[in-house]
Amino acid sequence: MTTDRTRPLLPRQPVRWHTGGPGGARRLINRLRARVAEQQRLEAHRLLEADMRGLWREACTGVGLCQYISAAAGLTVRTPRFGGLRLTPTGTSFTVELMPGGEPTDIEAHALRLAHSLGFAGLRVQPMAGRWVRVVLFDADPLASTFALPHAVTGRADDPILLGRREDGALVEHALASPGHVAVQGQNGSGKSQLSYGLLAQLAAAGDVVIAGSDITGLLLGRAWNGTAHRPWQITGSKDLAAHAAHLDRLVGWMDDRLETMPPRVDNIAPTVQTPLVLVVLEEFPGLLRAAQAKDRKLAERITSAVLRLLSEGRKAAFRVLMLAQRFEANAVGGGYARDQFAVRLSFRVPAESLAMLHGDDARRLGPEHANTEPGIAYLSAPGEDCVRLRAPYVGGYGAFCDRIARDGRRAA
């Protein structure tokens, strides 16, 4: 049948089903290559995860992080269960299910040995949900190299200041307004001064902080503080020891005035610009005591009595003590009672007995290793941080510290 509506047939064009049009062959090949590459990546990830799972089990068994279960088939070893491996551009991590009754600190206690068994320099444990944690691995030891103190300053007493970087890479900070005096010990050249430079450089600009104290060396509280609002509350040098005693008595009097005028129904003073937190820095305090004892025993007792009062009553009046010594022997810092008042304790390179003296018997096992540690590395004991290693930030030397105080130190109104 014919009709005048019939249209002439056009030449048929080939259909490119396999390529999807011009240039489609190249796109198809690229997709196939990407699929093969993804399959190879997934297979490599699966094999690596299997290897890591086996290494993790062996490492946990080796350090004793396991349970031995007796069954009919024999003795079974149970370890924290390896979850999933994650590989990202920033690092390697995997999830772990803790054993019943386990805590993240169980893994942290063996962190270095576990990390080395896995072929890494260190690890950090991040709690997740329930009994699950994430173990983050580090290719390099965060304590192996120095790191510079940032140029930021603290504006308030309740802002955290940087103490250092832990061996798991996490930064350790401390707010001066939180309760707790600070004790720092270490041999000459161990890094004690660097930590002090960093702390004071960060606090020099705070509007509600006064950096006061006694420094017989004349360096930590030296001429760099001239012209700042902190200078009237500092005394240096060893020629006039009676002036140090009088200055400490003056600080105690300031503390007493605050305690007497404390508002009703208030048991501690919050730092403000009008009532600033007073950081009493006692640089080489044992040296000051020895010099005073050699000159006049009553003068030494006067100095000790003033420091004891600042330590025991200062928290309520917004006073904090930062004491630095080469060794925190009880008779060198005003007695065992004085030493017990420090909540934040840092020890750079010291003999094993000195480490246990300040941090307790739990730190004794760390003594042989710490006695020969590199400068700048310290052990820290503080609320929430029980004897962890950290590296103090590097300010850049004494000259750089003086420049920071001259630039950032709060000026008198």
Tell me if 188 is assigned to a ligand binding site: yes
Whole-angstrom Cα distance, residue 247 to residue 306?
10
3-state secondary structure 272-314: CCCCCEEEEEEECHHHHHHHHHHHCHHHHHHHHHHHHHHHHHC
Strand partners, 211: 279
How many C-beta atoms surround the C-beta of residue 267 within 10 A?
7
189 is in an annotated binding site: yes
Show the tokens assigned to 42.
């997934």
CA atoms of 243 and 254, how far apart (whole Å)? 16
Annotation-wise, does 190 bind a ligand?
yes
Judge whether 187 is annotated as a binding position.
yes
Closest Cα partner for 128 from 136, 117, 116, 120?
A: 136
Residue 193, annotated as binding a ligand: yes
- Specify burial of residue 173 (Cβ count, 10 A radius: 0-12, 13-18, 19+): exposed
Q: Which of 281, 251, 252, 271 is nearest to 183 (CA)?
A: 281
Tokens of 208: 């509600």
Say whether 268 counts as a known binding-site residue.
no
Binding residues: 186-193
Binding residues for ATP: 186-193
